[in-house]
Chain A
Amino acid sequence: MSGHERNDTFLQLPTEVHCAAGDQTVGVGLDLNAVAILDQALQFGVEHVVQRSSMAFDQELVTARRMQDQVENFFRNPLASILSLENPTPSEEKTLTRFFMEFTSAYQRDELIAQLRAQMDGQINKDLLSDVLLIADELFSNAAHHAPLNIGPISEMRRKVHMLKGARLKPGQVKVGVDHERVVISCLDQYGSLDAREYLKQVRELISSGMHVTLTSGSGVGNYMVYMASVSLYVAVVNGQGTMICAAMPLKGGRIKRSQMAKNLHIMQRDHPTTILGDEP
């Protein structure tokens, strides 16, 4: 392991995964709270914080490895990469997908929410649906409203107006997938402009401020809401090519149980030598 000082509850991974993913990449925690998990990522550079008591521990380790070793596949088949122990294939992805929408404009937010609500209503319970809608909305907004457009320096307000007037984006995707125990929401954009560490840093700062925030645009409240609602959060960025953020939650159990579950956090940001989002091979 690295020379960083570690929390007592932070353990080294099983050898096979440890070797496959690299020394500093994956860490296994026990009873780390939402803040301690972020600290492992932000202070110690651990890219995958997986908790031994989490609901899909083995699968989380497999997903960590996939995010490191099969970047292209993770971007193409995020639901299967997160939910399936088998090799994540397009057909497995299709089997797991309960909702899919491609977007090319920030204007499609209401359409996304209306369709998602109609599609998932009755498939999952109402309280969970509330979180699924929240997460899909926030991930979509992040992807669509913050897309780096080639329109020169303009104010935030003008930019917002420009986006809402229907500025055309490179196609992004929102998907929702379900297996027998988890639901996953994924959102892809084809820009890869997110700074994953800054994203998490904002969440960390909001938690430490006790949420005494002014509700201003860009304060990160939406990111905080996504992090707190998720049991597992996956943030993957291939610089200049794409950003994929996914959130997983258990299908069963009420809100109290969900909020008490051990969280997992995965971040991956890198350059990639080849095109990851071109046409399917």
Chain B
Amino acid sequence: MSRVKSANVRNQVIDRQTKIFVEHALPESPVLSLSALTGSESVVIEFKNVDYVNSTGLRSFSKWLKELEATYPDMIISFEAVPAAIARHLLILKDFLPKKLEVSSMLVPYYCNACDNEDHSTVINAQKLRAMPRYADALPETVICKVCGAKMEADVIPEKYLSLLDERSKW
């Protein structure tokens, strides 16, 4: 019987940076063999296509991050395009993230109260956020529903959700 994988991981190395693409879910095995990171100065993990997370995946990912941090103490770790499906767990599980981790960009979900449509394409990056006096100011002024044309609402509390992006936060 072939096994249908709930998570999919691939990676590429450019110069001294390893980029890992995680799709569907957090894997329940190590994201990548740590030996594969030899020679890399930074590792970027992109989560754009992750649509859900379970406790086993969180546990395994947490363990892998801790081992990564211990094996390569100088490695710069960065999360990119963090969707709400992961972000809300990162916000809750305070012991989860390595001290040196940077979250460079997040996806902000929008919801249309008129027609129940949703949009997950808004990307907010850390640089933009830091240039703003309030987190909420980093969000686009309006996001229009592609289905009915109504104004959509950000389906997050910006001051809480976007705190993940702020390097000055307690992370």
Which positions in A face B, CB cutoff 8 Å?
Answer: 107, 109-111, 113-114, 117, 125-127, 129-131, 133-134, 137-138, 141, 210-217, 221-222, 225, 252-256
Contacts and interface: CB of A to CB of B under 8 A. Distances in A.
The binding surface of chain A is classed by DSSP as helix
A254 B5 contact: no
B56 interface: yes
28 contacts: A111-B3, A113-B6, A114-B5, A117-B24, A125-B116, A125-B118, A126-B51, A127-B111, A127-B118, A130-B52, A130-B85, A131-B52, A134-B53, A137-B6, A211-B92, A214-B95, A215-B59, A215-B63, A215-B96, A222-B55, A225-B55, A253-B111, A254-B109, A254-B111, A254-B118, A254-B153, A255-B88, A256-B156
Interface residues of B, number: 36
Interface in B39-77: 51-56, 58-59, 62-63
A138 B54 contact: yes
Given A130-B52, A254-B155, A111 B93 contact: no
The binding surface of chain B is classed by DSSP as mixed
A2 B25 CA distance: 47
Interface of B: 3-6, 24-25, 51-56, 58-59, 62-63, 84-85, 88-89, 92-96, 109, 111, 113, 116-118, 120, 153, 155-157
A117 B7 CA distance: 12
Contacts of B93: 211, 213, 215, 221
